[in-house]
A and B are shown apart, each in its own frame.
Chain A
Amino acid sequence: KAGVTQTPRYLIKTRGQQVTLSCSPISGHRSVSWYQQTPGQGLQFLFEYFSETQRNKGNFPGRFSGRQFSNSRSEMNVSTLELGDSALYLCASSLTGFNQPQHFGDGTRLSIL
C-alpha cells in the first residue's frame, strides 16, 4: 500500500508570493490533516479535511487555506508569504479522523527568502 505522498519536497519562495502544496493520502483514507513544524513552535495543527469539508481548524491566519478533492487528495495554499512561514509542512491521513493513528508524509520543506 503506498504511503502518504507530498509534493514538492522542497520549495523556495520570496516574501509576498503564494504557494500550493499537495498531499495524496493513503488509498481509502478520508481524513487529511496538515501541520506546520518549526524548531521554535514544534508541530502545530493547521486544519483537517474529511469528505471534502474542513472539519477542524487550528489557530492560523486566513492566509493559510486548504481544500480536499473527491479522491481525498488535498492541497494547502499559503498566500502573501512571510519569512515566518518557513517550515516543514506535514500532511497526515487516517481512515476517519483523530481517534486513529495519523500516517504522515515526509513533508514539504518551504523556505522563504
Chain B
Amino acid sequence: AQSVTQPDIHITVSEGASLELRCNYSYGATPYLFWYVQSPGQGLQLLLKYFSGDTLVQGIKGFEAEFKRSQSSFNLRKPSVHWSDAAEYFCAVGAASGTYKYIFGTGTRLKVLA
C-alpha cells in the first residue's frame, strides 16, 4: 500500500540550530518526492522536489533534502533555522501513473525558540 510517514509530529529547535525532518515512504511506482510548508491560515508552498538524478536537492529558503532509495527516505534539512521557519511541514509522494495518488504525510509542526 502507498504511504508516507513523518514520524515526528512536533519538533522544537532553537534559532540558529540545525534541523532535520524525517520522511519515509512506501510506494509501488517510481516516486516523485516533494516537501511543502504551510503557515497558519494559508495553503501549502512547495519547498523542493526530487524527480531523478542527484539525490541531494536544494530548495527555497535554504532547505535541502536527500533521497535515499535504500532507506525509502527523503529527509528535509536546514543548517541554521530562523524564527520565520516555524510552520508545519509536509512530505508528499506522487507518480506519473494515473492509478497512483498524491499522498501527504501527516505533517511535522516546527517550533523555533528565540
* Chain A residues closer than 8 Å to B45, beta-carbon distance: 104
Q: Report the tally of A-B residue pairs with Cβ distances under 8 A.
A: 61
* Chain B residues closer than 8 Å to A98, beta-carbon distance: 32, 94-96, 100-102
Known: A42-B106, A43-B107, A90-B43. A97 touches B96 (CB 8 A): yes
Bound state CA distance, A35 and B43, in angstroms?
A: 11
Q: Is the CB of B44 within 8 A of A104?
A: yes
Interface residues of B (CB under 8 A from A): 32, 34, 36, 41-46, 49, 51, 90, 92, 94-96, 98, 100-107
Interface residues of A (CB under 8 A from B): 4, 33, 35, 42-43, 45, 48, 55-56, 58, 90, 92, 97-107
Across the A-B interface, the 9 shortest Cβ-Cβ residue pairs? A104-B43, A98-B94, A99-B96, A43-B104, A104-B44, A42-B106, A98-B102, A101-B46, A106-B43
